[in-house]
Amino acid sequence: MALPKRQTDIGPPKYDQFLPPIIKKNYGKWKYHEELSGGTMVHVAESGDKLYTVRVASPRILSTETIREICDLSEKYCDGYLRFTTRNNVEFLVSDQSKVDPLVAELKQKKYLVGGIGDRVSNIVHTQGWVHCHSACTDASGLVKAIMDDLHEYFTTKELPNKVRLAVACCVNMCGAVHCSDIAVVAVHRKVPTINHELVPKVCEIPTTVASCPTSAIRPNPKDKSVIINEEKCMYCGNCFTVCPPIDIHKPEEDGVAIVVGGKVGSLRTDPKFSKLAIPFFYNEPPRWPKVVAAIRNILETYEKNAMKHERVGEWIERIGWESFFKLTGIEFTFQHIDDFTFARDTFRTSAAFKY
Amino acid sequence: MSGKYKTPMLDELEKGPWPSFVTEIKKAAKKSSMADDELGQLEKSYKTKRGYWKHGGIVGVLGYGGGVIGRYSSLPEEFPGIAHFHTVRINQTSGFFYTAKALKEICDIWDKYGSGLTNMHGSTGDLVLLGTTTENLEAIFAEYSSRGWDLGGSGSAMRTPSCCVGPGRCEWSNIDTLDITYTLTQEFQDELHRPAFPYKFKIKTAGCAVDCVAAIARADMSIIGTWKGNIQIDQAEVKKYADKGMNIQAEIIDMCPTNCMAYDGKTLKINDVECNRCMHCIAKMTKALRSGKEKGATILIGSKAPIVVGSLLSWVIVPFIKADAPYTELKELIRKIIGWWDDTAKPRERIGEVIESEGMRPFLEAIGVPPMPQQVKEPRKDPFFFWSESDFK
């Protein structure tokens, strides 16, 4: 069968053709919104019009079969209008209030989790992992599933002092905002990569490989037309592996994940923050990473118990001090916690005022 | 087609209340041997704790240098269905709004040519189609582009811009994030499809400082809506918050970072000169408070993930710029910023890294932005500052 005629550089279709009539009418004229439950909210326009949103969880990896089911539901209850959130939830955009409860009922009957709105744990932003990435040193989807199976009540109903944004990155490339999340998992290597000296000259550009190292640990090895790694300087970022695959950074039995905490992106109350190291290492324990799941619950529950209303995880920790964070959570403080990289000097304490 | 593999470890991840990605892969595997082999290889990864994907190869569609990421299994004999398993990035709609009709059409094409697996959505924002072969790429592109869909960015190029829901459904948005994103995507089609930059360049647009698209953390250029003028107060609604049990003193006044608010039990007062527009009070009392009437955007530059010398958050470059259609000033600014970066960067250097190594001054001079205290947290502490000839006048 002949293919249709291709077009180039047309860009995406214009957004307005996907907006429900109520949004077109009230575009930019929303007055306020109210949360109706953990997964439903209403936006009220200056005109008085009301738009109801029903949010459900998604594993981000979706089959066409599930997308079609979601589409069928949106056709049944909201004229086929739906959207996705920046955290990969699905939102049904309902303009007829009488259809909200039946939609929620059918979603629940079909085992969708309705939630993610307000001071709760929303969906975990995550990366491809073993499912589809060459540099993954853990499986992001599996970790997310295991963590959210444990925390699902914080998605659907239970409230926290403020929203808590979780993320999982399957390597230090951190596709997604892992470096500025309330609690995040990042997979890390711990051993100097192994070089395949036969392959390096065939597939790698030596100057690019040398330049890829942030700690200048790589130098050319003219004899083998390969490179040499200074083991003292290597901090296992894997950037050399990205530009030169025969430098293998993967060591399955020694790879694993770290947990970082206290980041945020909003400017509310305090400046946006990077996440900082809480726990330097757990071994990969597929399929359910039980120690990682337990550690995240511990941090979340300690925050829930101790933070003031509206404090994000990072704001709570800054108020009580990191020394108190380690005490309250019972997390061991190690050499790995003390920075020896780019930002190190800003992190050493320069005051005689601190707590025990 | 499905069920070629026993997957006891992955089956564990079909249990529990959270929606299961394993179930999604199995659903796709009912129709696609590619998805079934994906499942088989993934089970092997779970057993051996390592991935089996090779680095991305150079594949694509005629006339484009990006939009498709080559992906090959390193075990093609064992899992022939995923010997090729390329990613196709479809440029998403602004704000991720869709209709069922459009999405079903996307699914129909994908079932015909690919694994039936997607990411809704990828980290940059694209609608990601996971898993197809090199020979299918031209057909996929013809099918989608003839129906009005185009590919997103990849490689050393402008990446697919993305944004928050904005004026589509949010009372806090100070700018038209959906239209800005659509307009900039159209403006930079060539830069998006034909990688000619030193490295990637991401643009994300958020309607306010709540930043629901994490623009400040993961975009080389972060466009964040802001305002000038006084926060508009509806005192009757303030009272209703108090009547419903909000402790306005503790939750609003005491949490204001600039101590510019006061409440005597009847009237809420804001000393707007001291307000830094952080959004806390507006977000917590959305019925009572609205941002000031003069709208615009703050332009910040440089954020990125930690590879290689540490993460960066974007830095304020232009504190306030008008951001109304047709966005002429904004487009010109972006061209200047990209131009300087393109001229100055070494290969694989993000713009934030270049500014760090070259200094802020050459960057600001190149784009014609004067020094302003809003650009820094504090002035320098060291006495080692440069002078240029232009300073001796």
| Segment B34-72, tens digit of pLDDT | 999 999 999 999 999 999 999 877 899 999 999 999 999
Q: Which of A57, A169, A269 sits opposite B257 (nearest CB)?
A: A269
Q: What is the CATH number of domain B8-146?
A: 3.30.70.2500
Q: What is the pLDDT of residue B2?
A: 61
Q: How far apart are CA A261 and CA A329, in angstroms?
A: 12
Q: How far apart are CA A78 and CA A18, in angstroms?
A: 13
Q: Would an 8 Å CB–CB cutoff place A161 in contact with chain B?
A: no
The identity of residue A297, as a single letter, is R
Q: Which of A6, A75, A255 sits opposite B100 (nearest CB)?
A: A75
pTM: predicted TM-score of the whole model, two decimal places: 0.97
Q: Domain B232-290 adopts which CATH fold? A: Alpha-Beta Plaits (3.30.70)
Average confidence score pLDDT of chain A? 96
CB contact under 8 A, B20 and A59: yes
CB contact under 8 A, A28 and B257: no
Tell me which residue of A67, A66, A69, A74 sits closest to A99, measured CA to CA. Answer: A74
Is B232-290 in the same CATH topology as B8-146?
yes
Nearest-CA distance A275 → chain B (Å): 10
What are the tokens at B376?
């820094």
Specify the DSSP class assigned to residue B301. Answer: E
C-alpha distance from residue A17 to each of A99, A120, A187, B183 (Å): 23, 32, 40, 15
Q: How far apart are CA B121 and CA A62, in angstroms?
A: 9
Contact status, residue A139 vs residue A286, Cβ threshold 8 Å? yes
In three-state form (DSSP H/G/I as H, E/B as E, the rest C), the secondary structure along A79-108 is: CCEEEECCCCCEEEEECCHHHHHHHHHHHH
Q: How far apart are CA B46 and CA A102, in angstroms?
A: 40
Contact status, residue B225 vs residue B173, Cβ threshold 8 Å? yes
The single residue listed with the structure tokens 């050499």 is A335
Say which residues have a Cβ less than 8 Å from residue A265's Cβ, sequence separation at least 6: A165, A177, A180, A272, B211, B214, B215, B216, B217
Residue A336 above 80 pLDDT?
yes
Residue B113: φ, ψ to 5° = -115, -10
Q: What is the pLDDT of residue A175?
A: 82
| 3-class DSSP state of B198 | coil
The residue of chain A nearest to residue B110, with distances taken between CA atoms, is A64
Q: Would an 8 Å CB–CB cutoff place A1 in contact with chain B?
A: no
Number of A:B CB contacts under 8 A? 361
Nearest-CA distance A231 → chain B (Å): 17
Q: What is the pLDDT of residue B3?
A: 76
The single residue listed with the structure tokens 């199976």 is A149
pLDDT tens, position by position, B66-115: 999 999 999 999 999 999 999 999 999 999 999 999 999 999 999 999 99
- Residues of chain B with C-beta less than 8 angstroms from the C-beta of A129: 51
Mutate to test the interface with A, among B93, B259, B314 (most CBs of A within 10 A): B93
CB contact under 8 A, B178 and A130: no
- How many CA atoms within 13 Å lie on the side-chain side of B324? 4
In three-state form (DSSP H/G/I as H, E/B as E, the rest C), the secondary structure along chain A is: CCCCCCCCCCCCCCHHHHCCHHHHHHCCCEEEEEEEECCEEEEEECCCCEEEEEEECCCCEEEHHHHHHHHHHHHHHHCCEEEECCCCCEEEEECCHHHHHHHHHHHHHCCCCECCCCCCECCCEECCHHHCCCCCCCCHHHHHHHHHHHHHHHHHCCCCCCCECEEEECCCCCCCCHHHCCEEEEEECCCCCEECCCCHHHHCCHHHHHHCCCCCCEEEECCCCEEEECCCCCCCCCHHHHHCCCEECCCCCCCEEEEEECCECCCCCCCCECCEEEEEEEECCCCCCHHHHHHHHHHHHHHHHHCCCCCCHHHHHHHHCHHHHHHHHCCCCCHHHCCCCCCHHHHCCCCCCCCC
The residue of chain B nearest to residue A284, with distances taken between CA atoms, is B49
The identity of residue B91, as a single letter, is N
pLDDT tens, position by position, A100-152: 999 999 999 999 999 999 999 999 999 999 999 988 999 999 999 999 999 99
Q: Which of A30, A237, A250 sits opposite B308 (nearest CB)?
A: A237
Low-confidence ranges of chain B (pLDDT < 50): none
Q: How far apart are CA B333 and CA B368, in angstroms?
A: 9
Q: Which of A23, A175, A252 sits opposite B123 (nearest CB)?
A: A175
Q: How far is CA B121 from the centre of its chain?
A: 11
Q: How far apart are CA A334 and CA A326, in angstroms?
A: 11
Q: Which of A18, A33, A146 sits opposite B286 (nearest CB)?
A: A33
Beta bridge partners of B315: B301
CB contact under 8 A, A59 and B18: yes
Q: What is the pLDDT of residue B357?
A: 94
CB contact under 8 A, B309 and A214: yes
The residue of chain A nearest to residue B247, with distances taken between CA atoms, is A309
The residue of chain B nearest to residue A1, with distances taken between CA atoms, is B139
Q: Would an 8 Å CB–CB cutoff place A86 in contact with chain B?
A: yes
CB contact under 8 A, A67 and B103: yes
Where in chain B are the domains?
8-146, 162-228+295-392, 232-290
The single residue listed with the structure tokens 């070089």 is A195
Tell me which residue of A293, A175, A61, A253 sits closest to B50, measured CA to CA. Answer: A253
Contact status, residue A64 vs residue B118, Cβ threshold 8 Å? yes
Residue A2 above 90 pLDDT?
no
Mutate to test the interface with B, among A110, A216, A268 (most CBs of B within 10 A): A268
Report residue A177's pLDDT band, with 50, 70 and 90 as the boundaries: low
Residues 116-135 of A with CB under 8 A from B: 125, 127-135
The C-alpha angle B316, B370, B373, rounded to 5 degrees, equals 50
Q: What is the pLDDT of residue B55?
A: 81
Q: Please state the length of chain B.
A: 393
The residue of chain B nearest to residue A26, with distances taken between CA atoms, is B168
Q: Would an 8 Å CB–CB cutoff place A80 in contact with chain B?
A: yes
Q: Looking at beta carbons, which pairs linking B322-331 to residues 24 or more positions away fall under 8 Å?
A: B322/B296, B323/B175, B323/B176, B323/B180, B323/B223, B323/B225, B323/B295, B323/B296, B323/B297, B325/B176, B325/B179, B325/B183, B326/B183, B327/B180, B327/B183, B327/B184, B330/B180, B330/B184, B330/B223, B330/B297, B331/B184, B331/B187
Q: Which of B111, B146, B214 sits opposite A180 (nearest CB)?
A: B214
What are the tokens at B46?
């779970």
pLDDT tens, position by position, A213-237: 989 999 999 988 999 999 999 999 8
Contact status, residue A46 vs residue B171, Cβ threshold 8 Å? no
Q: Which CATH superfamily is domain B162-228+295-392 in?
A: Sulfite Reductase Hemoprotein, domain 1 (3.30.413.10)
Q: Would an 8 Å CB–CB cutoff place A9 in contact with chain B?
A: yes
Residue A264 above 80 pLDDT?
yes
Nearest-CA distance B236 → chain A (Å): 15
Q: Looking at beta carbons, which pairs linking A41-49 to residues 24 or more positions away fall under 8 Å?
A: A41/A117, A41/A118, A43/B169, A43/B170, A43/B171, A49/A22, A49/A25, A49/A95
Q: Which of A3, A15, A111 sits opposite B143 (nearest CB)?
A: A3
